[in-house]
Every structure is written in C-alpha cells, then in structure tokens.
Structure 1
Amino acid sequence: MSKLFTNVYDPIMKPLETGGFGAIRENLLREATGRVLEIGAGTGVNFPYYDAAVEAVDAIEPDDDMRNQSHERVREATVPIRLHAVRAENLPFPDQSFDTVVATLVFCTIPHPTLALREIERVSKPGARVLFFEHVRLDQPALGKIQDALTPLWKKAADGCHLNRDTLGMIQQSKLDVTNVDSHYKGVFLTIHGNYPE
C-alpha cells in the first residue's frame, strides 16, 4: 500500500465512520468473544469496539505504515491486542486457535481471498464465530456492470480494492455456515455473520 494512501485513509474514512460505519462496527463486534483474530486490521479502527467478552486480539496487517498508525489505538484499547505483520493467506497460528474471527472492509483487497478463507477455517475452533463487514458487487445487473467497469481504475487509486468482488458468494461457498446477512447503504455494504460447525 502506498504511504500517501495510508496517510489519507483515516481522514477520508472519518465522515463514513461518524455517519454510520462506527455504529455498524460497534454492533458487529459486540458478538466477538474469547480469543479473536482480526484480519487486515489497518489503522486499528476496530480496536476501541472490543469489550470485556474478548480475552485478547491477534490483529494481522501486512502494510507497515497502516500497522504503525495503529499503535496508539492498541495502547488505548481495553483488551490486549497483538499486531502481526502477516497476510491472511498464510497465517502463523496453530490449527483451531480462535473463538472469533473479524474481517472489516478488507476482503476487497486480499489478493487470494479463497485461500484466506481456508486459512481462517484452519485457525478457527469448532463452532467459532466469524464476523464480516464488507462491500460487495451489487445484485442489480446495471449497477454491477458499472462496478465492473470502474474496478480496474479503482484498484490503482485505492491500492488493490476490488469494487466488484462477490465476497458474500465466496463466503457462502466456504465451509462457514452463514447465519445472518444484513444490508447497509442499499446493499453496497453487508454485515455477514457465520459459524463453523461444531
């Protein structure tokens, strides 16, 4: 990720966070319990929302600049948070390590999302909860085609973000049992709740 994009990410996102994203994150992360793995923690915007039900968070973020910007939020968090400079496709954790996995606004940029889902499955305990907040390709054909057309340019401007990625479809094809999907902003964003079989 470019340093310029990293430096402007939080200021660009601030109106969205105060206008609704923050409430979405807070409601979603109320469901996190036990030992938590956060995928693509970025600048740590989720960290203030973890509460006493969380034992500790292992937060992965491969981008050095993003990870460095998260240190203040780590210090201010009410739960222990450990940062790891690794990618979602190759997690350095033993099998069946986590009670909850969190991924927010990150699956659009993971180069190999199907592999990342397999790694999440590997490190999740039986019955583990997985919580996503992602933007997705719209179901409406005309709008979906617009996303398709804009994606090549958008990937360059937003450091690899795919506007048209069918993240929900990929999740549904994995071994995760999807228990609930909530639509936000006319379906551009979804919160996806799931569990692995016991």
Structure 2
Amino acid sequence: MTPQTTARARSRPVFARVYAKYAGPALDRAGITEYRRRLLSGLTGEVVEIGAGNGLNFAHYPPGVQRVVAVEPEPRLRSLAGRSARTAPVPVDVVGAVAEQLPYPDSSFDAAIACLTLCSVADPHASLAELHRVLRPGGQLRFFEHVRADTPGMRRVQRALDATLWPLLAGGCHTGRDTRAAIVTAGFTITSLEKFPFPEPRFPSPAATHILGTAERPRAGGAS
C-alpha cells in the first residue's frame, strides 16, 4: 500500500522536543508499558497506528503482525519514529499523514491503533470515520485514551482548560473529549472497555481518566 496524497505537516517543534525528552520517560515510570502491551496483545495481519509519535508502541507489537503503518504528521516526532522502526520486532513503515485523511483504500487493514492520540487530533470524528473506512469488515480498533471525567466538577475544569491554553501548550491535546461516544458514532461496536485513572493521581487531575478497549467494524449485515 502506497500513500496517494501528500501529507499535511503539523509542525510543533517545541512540543515534540518536550514530549520526546520528558513525556515518554515519565509515562514509562508511571507504568504505561503494561497498557501498551495489553493494547497490542494478540494483533495479527496489517495494522495502522495513528498519531504514532516517536514510536513508543513499536517495541510491543506481537510477532503475528505482518506490518505496521505508523501515521505521524509532526516532522520531528516522525523522524524519531523512523529511528524506532529500525529496531522494532515487526516491519514498520512510518508515514507522514493526518488521521483525518488517511491515504489508503477502503478495507486495507486488519486492525487500527489509537493510543493517546484521539485527544489531540484536529477532528476526532473525521479521524474515527477514516479508521472505520480503512478497516476491513470485522477489523478491530484498539484504543487507549484519556477522556472526559466522570464528575461534573472535573468536567467543568476540563472544559475551562480545553477552551484556553491547554491545547496550545500540549500539542493540541483536549482533556475532556467523549471518545467512547465518538467511537460508537463512527459506526464501531465496542466489544470491551475498561475505565480507570492513569497514572494513579495523588491529586485530582483533568487528564487522569483513561479508557482501554476494543471496538469492531461490523461485518456486512451487522454480524460480528
């Protein structure tokens, strides 16, 4: 599969440097490796990963995966992902593209990965619609995302942050997106879902509520 459109770069050099140097190691110390492994466990076939960042998931892909197409629009992170791809246990192609316009035909992939990405894409609904399009019927969407909080008070905090400087400082991240609802609206059937705080917060955090789960693009006639 070869990209048929020119990628739109989304350069965020300051965020990219900070993320690569500090965020990844901090998440590792908080225990994210377990969730990365669970997210990717048992995958097979051709996989597309959106918002691959600097490639922190690559080391955890299982041997049943034939190839990963890793989509990353930020140039510096994409370059770092290319380096990570060289030592990945499965073949990884790093591609400059955006999740809202994936340069692949319909029904191209067996699985799709969204890992700490749907919070920061410009249009989560368009991104999920594209994932639905490029997945084969019966294909899986695996997701690990931070989402809208459960309590009204924290939701108010999230709305305030998302309307001010948070997205600008955090690479487009929004703390309060209702990602579960967006997945369903895109036409997926959620087959498993866990909700939990990550990392375990010492104090209330607007980005603590996470979901980890699997959804499926229904087969023809609605059969799973």
By the TM > 0.5 criterion, same fold? Answer: yes
Separation in 2, partners of 1:8, 1:110: 18
Question: 2:42 aligns to what?
Answer: 31
Q: Which residue of 2 aligns with 1:84?
A: 95
- Larger displacement relative to structure 2 (170-179 or 6-15): 6-15
Counterpart in the other structure of 2:178: 166
Distance in 2 (alpha carbons) for counterparts of 1:169 and 1:139 = 14
Residue of structure 1 in register with 2:160 after alignment: 149
2:25 equivalent to 1:4: no
1:73 & 1:156 partners in 2: Cα distance?
A: 27
Match of 1:180 in 2: 192
Per-residue deviation at 1:142?
Answer: 0.7
Contact 2:12/2:74 (<8 A) preserved: no
1:197 positional shift? 1.1
Report the TM-score when normalising by structure 1: 0.95
Q: For 1:58, what is the secondary structure of its paired residue?
A: strand
Deviation at 1:18, TM superposition (A): 2.8
* Runs (5+) with no aligned partner, structure 2: 1-10, 199-207, 220-224
Following TM superposition, by how much is the alpha carbon of 1:107 offset from its aligned partner in structure 2, in angstroms?
A: 0.5
1:193 alignment counterpart: 214
Dislocated runs of 4+, deviation >4 Å: none
Distance 2:218 2:171 in 1: 35
> Which one-letter code corresponds to 1:176 in the other structure?
F
**Contact 1:101–1:120 (CA under 8 A) maintained in structure 2:** yes
Match of 2:55 among 30, 44, 52: 44
State the identity as a percent.
36
Q: Aligned pair count?
A: 198
Residues 1:136 and 2:147 aligned together:
yes
Report Cα offsets for 1:108-140 as digits up to 9, x if no partner: 111111111111111100100110110101121
SS of the equivalent of 2:195 reads: strand
Structure 1, unpaired ranges of 5+: none
Q: Secondary structure at the match of 2:31?
A: helix
RMSD of aligned Cα (Å): 1.3
Q: CA deviation at 1:191?
A: 0.7
Instruction: Note if contact 1:117-1:171 (Cα within 8 Å) is conserved in structure 2.
Output: yes
Letter in 2 for 1:4: V
Equivalent-residue separation in structure 1 for 2:210 and 2:218 (angstroms):
26
Alpha-carbon distance in 2 for matches of 1:141, 1:104: 25
Q: Normalising by the residue count of structure 2, what TM-score does the alignment of the two structures yield?
A: 0.85
Moved more, 26-35 or 128-137: 26-35
The residue that corresponds to 1:16 in the other structure is 27
Structure 1 residue 70, shift from structure 2 partner: 1.3
Displacement of 1:10 in angstroms is: 2.7
Larger helix percent: 1
Per-residue deviation, residues 64-116 of structure 1 (Å, max 9, x unmatched):
11101112210010111011110011111111110010010011111111111
